[in-house]
Amino acid sequence: MSKKTIKDVEVSHKRVLVRVDFNVPLSPDGKVLDDFRIRAALPTINYLVEHQAKVILMSHLGRPKGKVVESLRMDPVAKKLSEISGLNVKKLDDCIGEEVKKEVFSMNDGNIILLENLRFHKGEKENDPEFAKELASLGELYVDDAFATAHRVAASTVGVAAYLPAVAGFLMEKEIESLTKILTAPEHPYVAILGGAKVSDKIGVIQNLMDKVDAFLIGGGMCFTFLKAKGYKIGYSLCEDEKIPFAKELLEEAKKRNIKVILPADVVSVPEVKETAPSKVVDIEEIPKDGIGVDIGPKTIENFKKILSTAKMIVWNGPLGVFEIEKFAKGTYAIAEYLGELKGITAVAGGGETAAALRKFGADKKITHVSTGGGAFLKFLEGHSLPAIDVLEDK
């Protein structure tokens, strides 16, 4: 990797300001519901503690819009981090100010402090130089380990790098290396699995992958825009009518380039998107007038598997059905499980819902890399440089 990491700099006995992504879902009674992002930061935190650094963690949580919102304080996160790491984490009641400085400057080597929610201050989202300078004054070195926020220009992701040496943490390093590989060093056959609700969210990704992949497997709500573009009747299934011309162009372009575009052969159809709704598997020629497609069907699962069985590299963004409802998650589950069984391949998945689906099915540990990024993952796949990565020091 071209960017410096914590292994390229001296961290011992230094105050190390670490941007993590602890923007995790909380229950109404203030408990962390999913600790995936907290666990993802542990390798960096453990390394710094083992190397006798003074570790100052900072993150945002939710959208408090520059005001203190009691339900979005970082206390539950500090508690969860202590539980899963076995380390003592001291959480402060602000992220800047004299009291914070006093606590930080009296830290011992190996201590960990978690600052209060950065977004309680407007200066965070606005990348206010004064706010960034205040944050930077707490550390002697800045480490960015929050890939999920790398596409945003904020005081804690970009601003602080103007005042401190800035390097990547281990999670950031893994994200950059894994995603760079699938864009710049593809192994063939290379297959992209695309799902999720909207074609419009994937246009940049499709365009950037067009000269790299050998096949697109398309499911989720977005497949119905393509099916309608091919003349199928899709009932009341989700469709972006304004994107039908784009879908037609993509199908034509793929044909010219000899890229396979595999659309569903069958879907699960329901009269309404409810767990209790009666469902049936229908071929795409037979979607009822009042039907809504909510998952790929068994024929499609087999068609997708056939293509994936030949792949050397796979990238996946977007669930293949309404996976939040158990009975409409079979397609996503079947493909996730199958990816976990494939040997000798590079498989990278990302996007908030995709990562959630893989974790739900326990497939996240069986594939090469599951990105912590949602918007950042998409931006990277679209071929954009990410501002928080750009400011890190080059080797």
Residue 270's domain is classified under what CATH number? 3.40.50.1260
130, HSE (Cβ side, Cα atoms, 13 Å): 4
Please give the Cα distance from 193 to 354 (Å, whole number): 11
Same domain, 30 and 67: yes
Please give the Cα distance from 368 to 348 (Å, whole number): 6
The answer as to whether 392 is a domain residue is: no
Please give the Cα distance from 203 to 382 (Å, whole number): 9
State which of 112, 137, 170 marks the end of a domain: 170
Please give the Cα distance from 139 to 18 (Å, whole number): 9
C-alpha distances in Å from residue 35, one per residue of 28, 201, 239, 285, 324: 16, 26, 34, 43, 18
The answer as to whether 386 is a domain residue is: no
A 10 A CB-CB count for 1 gives 15
Tokens linked to 178: 């894994």
Please give the Cα distance from 178 to 181 (Å, whole number): 5
Residue with tokens 């009691």: 70
Same domain, 254 and 348: yes
- DSSP assignment letter at 122: H
State which of 170, 188, 207 marks the end of a domain: 170
Residue with tokens 């990491």: 5
Please give the Cα distance from 92 to 169 (Å, whole number): 23
Which pLDDT does position 298 carry in this prediction?
A: 98
The answer as to whether 158 is a domain residue is: yes
Same domain, 70 and 106: yes
Same domain, 206 and 150: no
Same domain, 243 and 166: no
Same domain, 86 and 218: no
Residue with tokens 């914590």: 6
The answer as to whether 395 is a domain residue is: no
Is residue 50 within a helix (H) or strand (E), and if so which, with residue range?
helix 42-50
Which pLDDT does position 249 carry in this prediction?
A: 95
Same domain, 248 and 347: yes
The answer as to whether 1 is a domain residue is: no
The answer as to whether 59 is a domain residue is: yes
Same domain, 317 and 352: yes
Residue with tokens 């978690």: 114
| pTM for this predicted structure | 0.92
Please give the Cα distance from 78 to 61 (Å, whole number): 12
Same domain, 207 and 82: no
Please give the Cα distance from 296 to 194 (Å, whole number): 12
Q: Tens place of pLDDT for every residue, the chain, 395 residues? A: 899 999 999 999 999 999 999 999 999 999 999 898 999 999 999 999 999 999 999 999 999 999 999 999 999 999 999 999 999 999 999 999 999 999 999 999 999 999 999 999 999 999 999 999 999 999 999 999 999 999 999 999 999 999 999 999 999 999 999 999 999 989 999 999 999 988 998 999 999 999 999 999 999 999 999 999 999 999 999 999 999 999 999 999 999 999 999 999 999 999 999 999 999 999 999 999 999 999 999 999 999 999 999 999 999 999 999 988 989 999 999 999 999 889 999 999 998 778 877 887 788 888 899 998 888 999 999 999 999 999 999 99
15-19 vs 141-144, strand pairing mode: parallel
The answer as to whether 388 is a domain residue is: no
Question: Are the C-beta atoms of 51 and 36 separated by less than 8 Å?
Answer: no
Which pLDDT does position 374 carry in this prediction?
A: 87
Domain assignment of residue 223, given as a range: 178-381
Among 48, 40, 45, CA closest to 21: 40
Number of structural domains the chain divides into: 2
190: helix, strand or coil: strand
**DSSP 3-state percent helix, strand, coil across the chain (nearest 5):** 40, 15, 45
Among 102, 161, 98, CA closest to 132: 161
Same domain, 164 and 206: no
Question: Are the C-beta atoms of 45 and 30 separated by less than 8 Å?
Answer: no
State which of 102, 136, 170 marks the end of a domain: 170
Question: Are the C-beta atoms of 349 and 315 separated by less than 8 Å?
Answer: yes
Same domain, 116 and 233: no
Which pLDDT does position 38 carry in this prediction?
A: 96
Among 140, 151, 142, 146, CA closest to 175: 146
The answer as to whether 390 is a domain residue is: no
Residues annotated as catalytic are: 37, 198, 352, 375
Same domain, 74 and 222: no
C-alpha distances in Å from residue 321, one per residue of 47, 194, 273: 39, 11, 11
Instruction: Give first-to-last CA distance, the chain, whole Å.
Output: 8
β-bridge mates for residue 18, sequence order: 57, 143
Angle between helices 42-50 and 170-184 (to 10 degrees): 130
Please give the Cα distance from 385 to 392 (Å, whole number): 12
Cα dihedral 297, 298, 299, 304 sign = positive
